[in-house]
Amino acid sequence: MPDALRARFVGAGQGHVFKFLDEGKLTAEQASALIKQLEAIDVTLVNELFAATTAAAASEAASGPVAAKLEPATGVTDVTKSDRAEEWRAHGMSMIARGEVAALILAGGQGTRLGFDRPKGEYDVSLPSHKTIFQIQAERILRLKALAAAGAAAGSSGTGAPLPLYVMTSPMTDADTRAFWAEHAYFGLPVEDVFFFCQGTLPSLSMDGKILLETGWKVAENPDGNGGIYRALHLSGAVADMRKRGVKGVHVFAVDNVIVRAADPTFVGYCDAQGCDMGSKVCAKAGPHEKVGVLCKRDGTYTVVEYSEMDAATAEMTNTGTGELTFNAGNICIHYFTVDFLATTCAPEALPKVYHLAKKNILTAHPDTGKTMSKAEQAAVLGHAGNNGIKLESFIFDVFPRSKHMAVLQVPREAEFSPVKNAPGSADDSPDTARALVSALHGKWLASAGVSDAASFALVEVSPLASYGGEGLPAGSLPAEHPAAARGDATCLLVVTPGEAAKLGVTAPTGIASVGGRSVVVDVVSA
Ligand code: UD1
């Protein structure tokens, strides 16, 4: 046992982590596993986070309701009402063509609510193609690379514009995610342009801030939240990698959004044109009680208040005259950061120490055996079955108040936000609602392109390789009609590139294929 390690924990008032070791109850392997885990814990930081977070919670509670401290977000540009959207898109495209933009998927969360025990990006929402969310997001980037390269003066190169992708995993999703992408040959993205990095964990704590042991030889830990991105970007070398590549800004989005406009040139161009250090996309809330955070202002700076922290009366407040919700800027977990902001304001030593605190029932080690207790055993030992500890988490928007100039773009939800959070069959944010949103959006694209009967299909999907946002679907390249008589039992329409069609056994311009057991009308967009 290294003396310095013991001194560090004892000095920090956390010496109890050595209890089972000191009682001689650990095997050599258990002892070395414990020591290895403890070596990786910054115990001073853990204590600081606990102190700052509990102090902030106490002063927040003493200073009255949160609602009274909030003001609605100002400076929100509605992209649908601006005549500059095309200008921003062109600017973003030229940044992408120059290699100044990176995409980043937040994929450290677990699909607990979805009832899926693999990384969420591996989920198939049962679109006609049966592509996983990771594949859809990767292919959208591929298409954008091609569009940006084609639009650039230098012309198109073989692999398109350079657009590196960073994927944040957590210890729970890291190995599976890396293996999945490797198995699928990175969905066609150049392997050297896909950078995985893993967010950190934090020890779970007792109510008074003592590190909890899950077993006599293992500290109970939880992921540090999606705000762990900043520390992890630094520690993994991702920020340095961005610098080396000449990336200027990073477009960050949640893995669970099936229609996300990955690396959206309009948003990136908008943010860069504002000269901001970071930006955020919002959608008008679907209703006062939609389960999204709200972007608002507090003490003059932007902040996000989660729906669970906003009381009903505040959530329901409406503006006289317009009838719009006062707190209407729904956070859709799509953000933009300049690499300068990540490198300086978000350097590990500069990050906020006030985290979010969740009280939980955390299973811990039996005081005699060191084995993890069952819920019933723990209740007997503690004398209650309630919460015995806390998990500290940081959120990606905790740095918003540090922004000197934040750009906010309001976008139409039907074109940009279709989260998959809840299990199939749920009324909101489920694979079913996401599938319906994709179908409605892509149906609209096809209708604008002149496919008159797209609406007669139960489900419509346009491959991201064929179109990023509705472009590239000229009427002439699609059969104008799909007479019902010729469809047989095919109720779905899938629009693909010639390469994808060939894999489905369809030669241009149209055909019927069986995909995942479903009979699908396949339309091919000319290359
Ligand atoms: C998040 C937002 C919420 C917003 C909603 C929109 C945060 C903290 N909250 O809430 O304001 O209205 O999305 O859908 O951003 N993740 C990690 N590591 C973690 C936890 C999460 O990478 O430790 C990732 C998830 O994989 C996901 C994203 O962060 O891609 C959002 O996390 P999730 O838990 O789905 O957040 P929500 O509670 O839905």
Q: Is 418 in the pocket of ligand 1 (CB under 6 A)?
A: no
Q: Is 395 in the pocket of ligand 1 (CB under 6 A)?
A: yes
Q: How far is the CA of 124 from the centre of ligand 1 (A)?
A: 19
Q: Is 133 in the pocket of ligand 1 (CB under 6 A)?
A: no
Give the C-alpha distances (Å, rounded to integers) separating 197 from 165, 338, 343: 11, 18, 16
Q: Give the ligand 1 atom nearest the CA of 429.
A: 14
The DSSP code for 308 is G
Q: What is the mean pLDDT of residues 190-207?
A: 98
Amino acid at 120: K
Write down the pLDDT at residue 60: 87
Q: How far is the CA of 126 from the centre of ligand 1 (A)?
A: 22
**159 has a pLDDT exceeding 80:** no
Separation CA 145–CA 248 (nearest Å): 16
| Spacing of C-alpha 363 from chain mean position | 28
Measuring CA to CA, which residue among 157, 359, 346 is closest to residue 252?
A: 346
Q: Give the ligand 1 atom nearest the CA of 168.
A: 22
**380 has a pLDDT exceeding 70:** yes
pLDDT confidence of 510, banded at 50, 70, 90?
A: confident
Residue 56 parent element (H or E):
helix 43-62
**155 has a pLDDT exceeding 50:** no
Separation CA 479–CA 474 (nearest Å): 10
Q: How does pLDDT run across 173-187, given as a tens digit for each residue?
A: 999 999 999 999 999
Q: Is 227 in the pocket of ligand 1 (CB under 6 A)?
A: no
Q: How does pLDDT run across 274-299, given as a tens digit for each residue?
A: 999 999 999 999 999 999 999 999 99
Separation CA 275–CA 273 (nearest Å): 5
pLDDT confidence of 452, banded at 50, 70, 90?
A: confident
- What does the CA dihedral 146, 151, 152, 156 come to, rounded to 10 degrees? 40
Write down the pLDDT at residue 67: 79
Separation CA 12–CA 209 (nearest Å): 11
Write down the pLDDT at residue 65: 78
Residue of the CA atom closest to atom 30 of ligand 1: 254
**111 has a pLDDT exceeding 90:** no
Residue of the CA atom closest to atom 7 of ligand 1: 395
Q: How far is the CA of 26 from the centre of ligand 1 (A)?
A: 38
Query: In this structure, what token pair is assigned to residue 123?
Result: 């989920």
Query: In this structure, what token pair is assigned to residue 62?
Result: 């003493």
Contact between 102 and 164 under an 8 Å Cβ cutoff? The reply is yes
The DSSP code for 508 is S
Measuring CA to CA, which residue among 88, 74, 83, 73 is closest to residue 274?
A: 88
Amino acid at 280: S
**69 has a pLDDT exceeding 80:** yes
Q: What is the mean pLDDT of residues 235-260?
A: 98
What is the crossing angle of helices 133-151 and 85-97, to 10°? 90
Q: How does pLDDT run across 54-64, given as a tens digit for each residue?
A: 999 999 888 88
Residue of the CA atom closest to atom 22 of ligand 1: 108
Q: Is 109 in the pocket of ligand 1 (CB under 6 A)?
A: yes
Write down the pLDDT at residue 156: 47
All domains of the chain in start order, with CATH? 3-40 (no CATH), 49-416 (3.90.550.10), 439-524 (no CATH)
| Percent of the residues in the chain that have a pLDDT greater than 70, as a whole number | 98
- Sequence-ordered list of residues with C-beta below 8 angstroms from that of 26, at least 6 positions apart, any chain: 20, 34, 216, 217, 370
Q: Give the ligand 1 atom nearest the CA of 105.
A: 30
Separation CA 454–CA 471 (nearest Å): 16
| Percent of the residues in the chain that have a pLDDT greater than 90, as a whole number | 87
Comparing 5-19, 56-70, 179-193, 477-491, the range with the smallest average pLDDT is 477-491
Give the C-alpha distances (Å, rounded to integers) separating 413 from 101, 136, 253, 259: 24, 18, 15, 10
Residue of the CA atom closest to atom 17 of ligand 1: 108
Q: How does pLDDT run across 421-451, given as a tens digit for each residue?
A: 999 999 999 999 999 999 999 999 999 998 8
* For ligand 1, mutation pick of 133, 233, 258, 333 (most atoms within 8 Å of CB): 333
Query: In this structure, what token pair is assigned to residue 60?
Result: 């927040």
The DSSP code for 379 is H
Write down the pLDDT at residue 232: 98
**273 has a pLDDT exceeding 90:** yes
In the three-class reduction of DSSP (H, G, I as helix; E, B as strand; rest coil), residue 254 is classed as: strand
Measuring CA to CA, which residue among 254, 103, 232 is closest to residue 166?
A: 103
Contact between 188 and 139 under an 8 Å Cβ cutoff? The reply is yes
Residue of the CA atom closest to atom 38 of ligand 1: 292
Measuring CA to CA, which residue among 258, 241, 256 is closest to residue 165?
A: 241
Separation CA 522–CA 500 (nearest Å): 10
- Residue 444 phi/psi, 5-degree rounding, is -65, -40
Q: Is 106 in the pocket of ligand 1 (CB under 6 A)?
A: yes
**194 has a pLDDT exceeding 70:** yes
- Residue 358 phi/psi, 5-degree rounding, is -120, 125
Separation CA 59–CA 304 (nearest Å): 19
Write down the pLDDT at residue 321: 87
Angle at 235 between CA 232 and CA 241, to 5 degrees: 95
Residue of the CA atom closest to atom 14 of ligand 1: 332
Q: Is 257 in the pocket of ligand 1 (CB under 6 A)?
A: no
- Tokens 């509670």: give the residue: 61
Angle at 352 between CA 347 and CA 355, to 5 degrees: 130
Q: How far is the CA of 12 from the centre of ligand 1 (A)?
A: 32
